[in-house]
Amino acid sequence: MQTQVESLYNDARQYPNSHSQRLVVTLEELRLAIEELHVAEEELITQNEQLIAAQQLAEVERQRYQQLFEFAPDGYLVTDLNGIVQEANRAAETLLNIQQKFLIGKPLVTYVAQTERANFRALLSQIRSARRVQGCELMVQQRRGEAITAEITVETFSDASGAPVGLRWQIRDISDRKKAEAALAQLQAQNLEMLEADRLRTQFLATVSHELKTPMTAILGFSQVLMGQFNCNQDPRATKMAERIFHNGQHLLSLIENMLNFSRLRANQVELQLETFDLLELINTTIDELQPLVDQKAIALETDLPDEPLMITNDRNRLRQIITNLWSNAIKFTDSGRVTVRVKTLPANRLSLVVQDTGCGISDEDQAYIFQEFWQVHNARSMAQGTGLGLAIVHALVKTMQGSITVESELGRGSQFKVELPQTVKPSRMSFALKS
């Protein structure tokens, strides 16, 4: 058509009369109109291509969101405002134990536990005004299955005019979470009961120990008086009986002291009383105190100490308690051979104290628990001679002194306890450091 108009336009221009001139004008207008039509056609083609591309993109997005909906891990459903199911994904099918095609058209309330249906209907009423409700818990009844605890989020969606036309539901099975929460709550309750039982045990030990210490001190005092009188009267049999009372009383008093120390540690009532003193002097004094125990056995007590005084800053009484406990244990469990005590200085202003014996030794199994409170090595001798608190108290005191304690042992060959401490201990209050 464009070509035909151009031909007529050229022919009309060859005739200069008025009729031809009007025809030329008309043809010119027609030619311009046709050009505009071509431009409009091209624009329409371009817009159509853009529309097709947009439709294809929209279809891709629709399919993508449909797949996200279909394969989401939570149950997703679409219902009308009355809760009639219109769409459901695979997770909803699994959660409710019913095929998707049988869900469509069914009231969602059908799959709510009978006892929860009033709450569900209240939720439907609430969502009409709230537009979104999140984190609501309901019991969902599976088809031919058990009821499960579900967390529900629901919101409305609207048409183009903004009027709500339906509801989107997210249903999440939280049965495992609720079981875990219940188990955790039970554990917490049991933990509180254990803490209370531990508090009562500590209080009981402290009370009993205090009540026992006073009469035991009196028994020791009177037994010493009796030993003096029997010695004067030269009555060996009576003297021996009084000595037995005295030594057994001392043993019992040491057990009472252990229980008192344990209760103080439990109550965080032990504060280091620091002073500067010669460690070697303390060790030699302790050796003299323990010599009677050594003399009762066919063992030797050997020392490997520095030649010069070793001045340290520590709690003298608490350190003596550590040394006495380790040595008395070594002597108690060694029937022949020797008990060796070694002290040496270490870099970084530290020192080591080693107590080694040739006694019965400790099994690998027992070594893992040796510093736990009330733990005793599995042999008849240890069960009969202690409370299982001594090494636990030693461990706690060493930790408070910013030190460490380790054990190496072999059954039938003996044990070695090694304590490492700073030569100058910093002020510290006992935090509960008993190993459990």
Rounded Cα gap, residues 383 and 405, in angstroms: 23
Q: Quick check: 380 pLDDT over 50?
A: no
Q: Quick check: 17 pLDDT over 60?
A: no
Say what the pLDDT of residue 193 is: 87
Say what the pLDDT of residue 145 is: 78
Q: Quick check: 137 pLDDT over 60?
A: yes
Output the six-digit token pair for 314. 């520590």
Output the six-digit token pair for 266. 């439990």
Which of 98-102, 127-131, 197-201, 208-212 bottoms out in mean pLDDT, i.e. has the lowest?
A: 208-212
Buried b or exposed e, range 133-143, using 16+ CB within 10 angstroms: eeebebbbbbe
Q: Quick check: 208 pLDDT over 70?
A: no
Q: Quick check: 100 pLDDT over 90?
A: no
Q: Quick check: 346 pLDDT over 60?
A: yes
pLDDT band at 398 (very low <50, low <70, confident <90, very high): very high
Please report the beta strands in 117-213, taking only residues with DSSP state E, as ranges in sequence order.
132-141, 147-158, 164-173
If you write DSSP's letter for every residue of 27-69 in order, what string do you get? HHHHHHHHHHHHHHHHHHHHHHHHHHHHHHHHHHHHHHHHHHH
Q: Mean of the per-residue pLDDT values for the chain?
A: 82
Is residue 219 a contact partner of residue 249, using CB atoms and an 8 Å limit?
yes
Say what the pLDDT of residue 47 is: 87
Helices 236-266 and 390-400, interaxial angle, to 10°? 50
Say what the pLDDT of residue 215 is: 77
Q: What percent of the chain has pLDDT over 70?
A: 78
Say what the pLDDT of residue 436 is: 46
What is the distance of C-alpha 265 from the center of its chain?
25
pLDDT band at 381 (very low <50, low <70, confident <90, very high): very low
Tell me the pTM: 0.50
Q: Per-residue pLDDT tens for 144-168?
A: 878 889 999 999 999 888 889 999 9
Q: Quick check: 112 pLDDT over 50?
A: yes
pLDDT band at 241 (very low <50, low <70, confident <90, very high): confident
Rounded Cα gap, residues 103 and 87, in angstroms: 8
pLDDT band at 219 (very low <50, low <70, confident <90, very high): confident
Say what the pLDDT of residue 348 is: 93
Q: Quick check: 415 pLDDT over 70?
A: yes
